[in-house]
């Protein structure tokens, strides 16, 4: 898609004028595919750097609503697990010279945008857990590309975005019992094996099959549905769904599962 | 202490000039006294409203360092558990008219300060856990008083500070296993009963004495010291200390105690 730089610059300036200075949001949007956690990344317009989807905060917009908006704009997802997890505020977290270089390369260097981007920015980071199959991802105006990247082996990202991703993954691991992992990341129906492999991919270790099944069933949040006939030679496993009400109550208490 | 308003205003203006606009920090400094959690509060200069200790962020200061500075200025404590827990960014979290009223009452209403305080502010809130006995609390320049207030039955605080305290206490309850509760809030040496009463005050329920002792000892993080002779008629209990190294390792894994 060829973008008209003039329109683009005008659009950017208009958006800046509506936003509060010095504060942005960045979203670590996590999905699950190929037995691995995936993070949604955008390729910044006119650079070859990947970055987290993010944005500014409109002057009359709540901070958390800005993150909800970014999530929706990039994925189409409206209802999902979305929670702030850390505000990144190091004095030199952005390389201003690099920012200005990128603006010039993209021909976005009006005095107005340069002043804006030269500011120090504090960024509040949000963690979103989404079902990849429900996402309709879009690059948006200020990026050339948008794609899922496996968490392991991420390239060097813009600014401190690698650190932001690391902190999000650390949160997932540490607070596994308080996050709606299975419900948010898996499709509505799944097999016990799907659920176990999800936990294994996050914890980066094998779990005992019998033990896992026993513990999960003991939580009493799954509803057993019909069998899943894949046409393979294996015995058909059951499909499960989460019982929304029970699961919600359990999360509020903390699951204390593993 | 009578303050000279002119000097005060000059001082405030000079501090504002060194700070980044639109972002502040607020510290929920939690201690433990009279078998109850206590929060440090300051009475805002020239008002009768209590508020959390907080401040602005210097232009060349990391966000987290601003909170460390506030903690040190109010309590003298340098090394303590201090962690960000939430960034409050509702569009209308401060009543601007009230802010301007308060400035005028305190004769702090120069055009310069009015412009500054009329801005929308996003505030990053920090939780600090401190040993009250180690604190040397000070009201500081912009407040008339500074005191510990029991968490239960807090009066109406400035802005959204009641919400901020509520969220901090919720974090303590939910993440009890990941916070250095005993180590941060109790004196260096304590009895098993002291520790149990601390947990009971946070969880708001009685715990079984035998069970509690068994679980805590099983964590293998306590060092038993001499007996505590209080001169009372009871059998003298043992004093305990935390084993710093082991406790640190345990916290990193999550205690999974209760």
Q: What is the pLDDT of residue B141?
A: 78
Q: What is the pLDDT of residue B196?
A: 95
CA torsion sign, A11 to A13 to A16 to A17?
Answer: negative
Radius of gyration for chain B, computed over Cα atoms and rounded to the nearest angstrom: 21
Residue-level pLDDT at B257:
57
Task: Write the burial class of residue B30 (CB in 10 Å: 0-12 exposed, 13-18 middle, 19+ buried).
Answer: buried
Q: How far is the C-alpha of A154 from the C-alpha of A241, rounded, in Å? A: 32
Tokens of A57: 């905060």
CA distance A151 to A36: 8
Contact present, B87 and B123 (Cβ < 8 Å): yes
* Beta strands, E only, chain A: 19-33, 36-44, 50-51, 54-58, 81-88, 122-129, 143-150, 190-191, 222-227, 238-242
Rounded distance between C-alpha atoms, residue A81 and residue A83, angstroms: 7
Domains of chain A and any CATH numbers: 5-174 (3.90.79.10), 179-253 (1.10.10.10)
CB atoms inside a 10 Å sphere around CB A256 = 12
**Phi/psi of residue B9, nearest 5 degrees:** -60, -45
CA distance B65 to chain A (A): 9
Tell the residue number behind the tokens 């601007």, with chain if given. B96
Q: Which of B154, B180, B151 is nearest to B168 (CA)?
A: B151
Q: How far is CA A242 from CA A184, A191, A216, B146, in A?
A: 10, 11, 11, 49
What pLDDT does B1 receive? 42
B174 with A178: Cβ contact below 8 A: yes
CA dihedral B226, B232, B235, B239 (to 10 degrees): -30
Q: Do A23 and B23 touch (CB under 8 A)?
A: yes
Determine how many CB atoms are found less than 10 A away from the CB of residue B117.
18
Interface confidence, given as ipTM, is 0.90
Residues of chain A positioned with their CB less than 8 A from the CB of B60: 91
Give, for all 258 residues of chain A, the pLDDT tens digit: 445 778 888 989 999 999 999 999 999 999 999 999 999 999 987 788 899 999 999 999 999 999 999 999 999 998 889 999 999 999 999 999 999 998 898 888 899 999 999 999 999 999 999 999 999 999 887 788 999 999 998 999 999 999 999 999 999 998 888 888 999 999 999 999 999 999 999 998 999 999 999 999 998 999 999 887 777 767 889 999 999 999 888 887 766 655
> What is the pLDDT at residue B144?
84
Beta-bridge partners for B223: B241
For chain B, list residues with pLDDT below 50: 1-2
| B59, B63, B91 member nearest A87 (Cβ) | B63
CB B257 within 8 A of CB B212: no
With a CB cutoff of 8 Å and minimum separation 6, the contacts of B31 are: B37, B38, B39, B40, B129, B130, B131, B132, B135, B148, B185
CB B165 within 8 A of CB B181: no
Tell me how crowded residue B131 is: count the other CB atoms within 10 A of its CB. Answer: 17
Report the residue from A86, A91, A254 with minimal CB separation from B174: A254
Cα–Cα dist B227/B230, whole Å: 9
Closest approach of chain A CAs to the CA of B235, in angstroms?
A: 37
pLDDT at residue A230, as a whole number:
75
């Amino acid at each position: 898609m060829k973008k008209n730089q003039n329109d683009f610059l005008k659009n950017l300036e208009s958006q800046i004028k509506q936003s509060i200075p010095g504060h942005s949001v960045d979203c670590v949007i996590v999905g699950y595919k190929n037995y691995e956690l995936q993070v949604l990344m955008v390729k910044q317009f006119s650079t070859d750097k990947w970055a987290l989807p993010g944005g500014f905060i409109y002057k009359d917009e709540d901070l958390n609503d800005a993150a909800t908006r970014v999530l929706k704009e990039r994925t189409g997802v409206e209802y999902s697990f979305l929670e702030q997890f850390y505000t990144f505020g190091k004095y030199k977290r952005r390389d201003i010279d690099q920012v200005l270089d990128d603006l010039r390369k993209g021909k976005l260097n009006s005095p107005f945008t340069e002043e804006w981007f030269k500011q120090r920015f504090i960024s509040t980071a949000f963690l979103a857990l989404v079902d990849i199959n429900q996402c309709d991802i879009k690059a948006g105006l200020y990026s050339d590309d948008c794609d899922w990247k496996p968490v392991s082996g991420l390239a060097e990202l813009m600014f401190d975005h690698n650190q932001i991703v690391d902190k999000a993954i650390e949160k997932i691991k540490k607070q596994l019992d308080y996050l709606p992992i299975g419900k948010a990341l898996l499709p509505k129906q799944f097999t016990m094996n799907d659920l176990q492999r999800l936990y294994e991919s996050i914890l980066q270790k094998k779990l005992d099959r019998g033990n896992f099944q026993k513990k999960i069933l003991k939580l009493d949040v799954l509803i057993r549905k019909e069998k899943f006939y894949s046409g393979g030679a294996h015995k058909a496993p059951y499909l499960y769904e989460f019982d929304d009400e029970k699961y919600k109550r359990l999360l509020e208490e903390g699951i204390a599962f593993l």
